[in-house]
Amino acid sequence: MYNDAVLNGDLNRVLGNMRHTDRLCIADCGLPIPDGVEVIDLSLKMGEPSFLAVLDVVLEHFGVEKIFLASETENMNGALYEQLQKRFSATPCETMPHEDFKKLSATCRAIVRTGENTAYANLILQSSCIF
């Protein structure tokens, strides 16, 4: 058994297979999943696990060169927006309307569905190069 790794086998596999510029989406429980994109459903019940709890575990094992965020997040979920600003203060961020974000999610290797039930709690992470 892995020591100090992501315990969810599907998430561990996807993180291990990510390459430079590949994208991974961390999503609330309401984001539509595009056809053909793998979903790793971690949701247990409304609010659990939270978006930030899942994001923080992913960030322990994943290098990020850029993030993508719906422009509505700042006004509709200010608390989450502030937390993202803290975590990604030195990371380029591209914002776009939520409808465009949903289209961009179709380019992700996988979407990690959390139990988060607050508005616009969705983020796309673009993988950095490890060397």
Q: So which residues are the catalytic ones?
A: 20
- Give the containing element (helix H, strand E) for 58: helix 51-60
- CA-closest candidate to residue 126, choices 5, 7, 18, 48: 18
Distance CA 44, CA 36 (A): 23
State in Å, rounded, how far the first CA of the chain is from the last one. Answer: 28
Q: Beta strands of 1-131 (E only): which ranges? A: 23-27, 38-41, 64-70, 93-96, 110-113, 123-127
